[in-house]
Amino acid sequence: MPRLVCCADDCDGARAALPVASPLANALGLELLVLHVEPATELPGVSAAVGGQADELAREAGLGPDVTLHAEIGDSVERILAACADEWVRLVVLGSHGRRGVTAALLGSVSRNVAARAPCPCLIVPPQAADRPFLT
**pLDDT digits 0-9 by tens, 67-77:** 888 888 899 99
pLDDT band with cut points at 50, 70 and 90 for residue 117? very high
> Is pLDDT of 42 > 80?
no
Domain ranges for the chain, please list them: 3-130
- Range 95-131 burial, b when 16+ CB lie within 10 A, else e: bbbebeeeeeeeeebbbbebbeebeeebbbbebebbe
pTM score, whole prediction: 0.80
**Domain over 3-130 is classified CATH 3.40.50.620:** yes
Rounded CA-CA distance 70/133 in Å is 26
> Is pLDDT of 61 > 90?
no
Q: Provide the pLDDT for residue 107.
A: 47
pLDDT band with cut points at 50, 70 and 90 for residue 109? confident
Average pLDDT over residues 16-24: 88
**What mean pLDDT value characterizes the chain?**
80
